[in-house]
Amino acid sequence: MDQPDDGAQSDRHRDAPRSSWAVAHDGGRPEGERGCTHATTLPSAPDQPAAGCAECLASGGSWRRLLWCATCGHVGCCDSSPGRHAYRHHDRTGHPVVLTLSADEGWAWCYEDEVYLVQ
């Protein structure tokens, strides 16, 4: 179940400060073959902690890590979580990039380009 769009998510996304992102080193792929067309337009993740994965909260499920959709602000659980709701959100909407909401991490994942991004 998606979080209702009360306009607040859209406003937070639109007003979020932009930060610089770069494709992370990946020893399994040559550097010249990797890129992300979205890296220059990503906002920073919100400073406010999320209550949890919207779908897991609704169903009583659990999650390992929370990911924030850089397009609309949806909060879903990571691929290591049983529900994989961030990926399901991407699959349903086509929104390409999620940012980790873990305070001690600074990465994003682009589903479209299949690359990690770091600040």
Phi/psi at 37 (5° precision): -70, -15
Q: Is the pLDDT of residue 40 over 80?
A: yes
Helix (H, G, I), strand (E, B) or coil at 14: helix
C-alpha angle 3-44-33 in degrees, rounded to nearest 5 = 105
- So what's the pLDDT on residue 77? 98
Q: Which residue ranges form the domains of the chain, and what is each CATH number?
A: 51-119 (3.30.40.10)
Indicate the pTM of the whole model.
0.78
